[in-house]
Structure 1
Amino acid sequence: MTKLGRLYSLFDSVELPENLPYTQCSTWELEFLYLLGRHHLTGQGRIVELGSGGGGSTYALALGLSESPVFDTRKGRLHAYDFFRVGKGTFASEKFFDSGHKPADDNSFLDDFKRRLGPFLPFLEIHAGDLWQTSDPEDTTPVEFLHIDIAKTARVFRCVSERFLSRMQVGTVVLHQDFAGPRLPWLHHSTGALLPYIEIAGPPIRSTLAFEVTKPIPADVLKRITEDDYTVDEKLTLISAVQDRIDRDHTDGIPFKSVLELSKAYVAHYDGQHRRAWSLAKPLQSDAYLSRTRADHFEQLKKAYAKEPSFLDKLVRRTVGR
């Protein structure tokens, strides 16, 4: 069992406050964040949360850090990154406001976030805005912990990789909160590329995959991940390697092998190979979990496939010069 894996046995010992700030994380994910702060992290490297949202996950992690026997709240810092506003491209919910909806004249919930995290503000460093603007490209400080709940687009993942994953070292802990998202295949094939240098903690905690770096990661591996320097076939192979390591989540509710198979379809889809994407996705419609929770994914892939010209159509167009 990995060092992180030992935290699974402590779930039943956690009693989080009932009035935690609103979050889209599950109770298990919040408890794991608390356990990491309380029993694992030291503050000797950067402790970073990318995508703090309404503050529930930040609160759970900060509470654990505040009760840790080794984390010094006078010197250590928890870095919280987010747009802290709703609007196009932020993937934020109006539930992040105390009122539950956006005020007419303000789309920022930063003040609400600060009120909710009040007890921990002395050691909380908030970075509000676009990650490309709020992260420092010159910062090479080792990262001890990285909670990634912000990489909803390839553009943002490139920033995450370039400015945070590049600072991983042996002992770094990473949590991918969106690992159950088939539309985010960069999380999956990048993890496949890292497999020789990490230990997966155990079954995913609901939608979160946790791992710890156990061997130095070569610079060229990190560079390829950042530059998305893999062919479609290479990405599919990397995702298959992850499928060999994980099955269902620890509650037995999410079938990750199927989720990752649908992620492969999105690798092809984003590359414009819509026929191939649908050939990968179509058989998965019989999966009970995916058919119930990802019907819109199948519709998107099927629609793109239907619009793609057939081989004969392409041949005719080339022949007539159109």
Structure 2
Amino acid sequence: MTKLGRLYSMFDSVRLPDDLPYTQVSSWELRFLYLVGRHTLSGEGRVVELGSGGGGSTYALALGLKESPVFDERTGRLHAYDFFRVGKGTFATEKFFTSGHRPAHDNSFLDDFRGRLEPFLPFLEIHAGDLWQTSDPDDTTPVEFLHVDIAKTARVFRCVCERFLTRLGPGSVVLHQDFAGPRLPWLHWSTGALLPYIEIAGPPIRSTLAFEVTRPIPEDVLKSVSEDVYTLDEKLALISAVQDRVDRDHTGGIPFKSVLELSKAYVAHYAGEHRRAWSLAKPLTSDEYLARTRADHFEQLRKAYEAQPGTASRLKRLVRGR
């Protein structure tokens, strides 16, 4: 069992403050972040959070670091990356503002974030803006911990790969917070590519998959992931390998085998193979969890399929004059 796996038995011992900053991360994930900071991190390598949002996850992790017997606040740093503003392409919500809504003529909630994280500012380093601009391409400092809650697009994920995954080594801990998101298949097939070099901690913690690097990751593997060189069929096979390792989340609520199957449909969708995407997605419409939580995903894939020239449904619409 990895050091991460031992944390599952400690969930009930965690008591976080009731007034944590607003976050879209579940209470289970917040407790896990606290436990990682409290029991596994030394601060000797970089501790990095990509996608800090309103600060709830940052607060939980920072609190764990502050209460750690080995983390030295004088030398250790928690690096928080985010746009820290609302607007197109940021995937942020106005609830990240202290008032709950955006003030007139101000898109930035950076000051709100600083105010909420005030107890930890002595060891918190904030990087505000586009990740491609705020991360250093020449920084090779080893990354001890990486919380990824920012890879909402393939463009951003490439930056994560090139500038952070390349700095992982044996003992590094990674948390993919969006692992229950079928529209982010790069998280899934890239994990499949890394399987020979990592150990998954256990069942996902709600939507977060946690793993520890156990062997050096070859440069050519990292390059293949960052440059997205895998074929459609190779990506589907890599996701299947993850399905062999991951079933439901630790509460039993999220059926990850089904989620990852829908992720395969999005691999085909993004490749322009809409017929194949719908053939993968259609059987999943009877899955209770997906039907309840991902109806918009099925609609998107179905519409793309029907808009493809030569499909029967498109021909029927043309005949009806629609």
**What is the TM-score normalised by the length of structure 2?**
0.96
Partner of 2:22: 22
Task: Write out per-residue CA displacement over residues 232-266 of structure 1, whole angstroms, 9 at most, x where no aligned residue.
Answer: 00000000000000000000000000000000000
SS in 2 for 1:79: strand
For residues 263-278 of structure 1, what are the structure 2 equivalents within 5 Å? 263-278=263-278
Partner of 2:147: 147
Q: Aligned equivalents of 1:306 and 1:103: distance in 2?
A: 42
Matched, 1:175 2:175: yes
Partner of 1:250: 250
Partner of 1:102: 102
For residues 106-121 of structure 1, what are the structure 2 equivalents within 5 Å? 106-121=106-121
Q: Which amino acid aligns with 1:74?
A: R
Matched, 1:56 2:45: no
SS in 2 for 1:304: helix
Partner of 2:68: 68
SS in 2 for 1:171: coil
Partner of 1:318: none
SS in 1 for 2:169: strand
Q: Which amino acid aligns with 2:172?
A: T
Task: Write out per-residue CA displacement over residues 22-74 of structure 1, whole angstroms, 9 at most, x where no aligned residue.
Answer: 00000000000000000000001000000000000000000000000000001
Q: Aligned equivalents of 2:7 and 2:126: distance in 1?
A: 27
SS in 2 for 1:146: strand
SS in 2 for 1:140: coil
Over 4 Å off, 4+ runs: none
Partner of 1:285: 285
Partner of 2:127: 127
Whether contact under 8 Å (2:305, 2:311) holds in the other structure is: no
Q: Which amino acid aligns with 1:107?
A: N
SS in 1 for 2:245: coil
Deviation at 1:2, TM superposition (A): 2.0
Partner of 2:207: 207
Partner of 1:160: 160
Q: Aligned equivalents of 2:188 and 2:109: distance in 1?
A: 31
Deviation at 1:310, TM superposition (A): 2.0
Task: Write out per-residue CA displacement over residues 148-201 of structure 1, whole angstroms, 9 at most, x where no aligned residue.
Answer: 000000000000000000111001100000000000000000000000000000
Partner of 1:316: none
5+ residue gaps, structure 1, are 313-322
Deviation at 1:311, TM superposition (A): 7.7
Q: Which amino acid aligns with 1:90?
A: T
Give the % identical residues.
83
Q: Aligned equivalents of 1:167 and 1:3: distance in 2?
A: 20
Deviation at 1:118, TM superposition (A): 0.2
Matched, 1:295 2:303: no
SS in 1 for 2:170: strand
Deviation at 1:219, TM superposition (A): 0.4
SS in 2 for 1:103: coil
Q: Aligned equivalents of 2:70 and 2:3: distance in 1?
A: 17
Task: Write out per-residue CA displacement over residues 258-313 of structure 1, whole angstroms, 9 at most, x where no aligned residue.
Answer: 0000000000000000000000000000000000000000000000000011289x
Partner of 1:196: 196
Partner of 1:320: none
Whether contact under 8 Å (2:185, 2:266) holds in the other structure is: yes
Q: Which amino acid aligns with 2:147?
A: H
Work out the number of aligned pairs and report it: 312
Q: Aligned equivalents of 1:72 and 1:45: distance in 2?
A: 12
Aligned-CA RMSD value: 0.8
SS in 1 for 2:174: strand
Whether contact under 8 Å (2:43, 2:144) holds in the other structure is: yes
5+ residue gaps, structure 2, are 313-322
Deviation at 1:11, TM superposition (A): 0.3
Q: Which amino acid aligns with 1:121?
A: L
For residues 212-227 of structure 1, what are the structure 2 equivalents within 5 Å? 212-227=212-227
Q: Which amino acid aligns with 2:67?
A: E
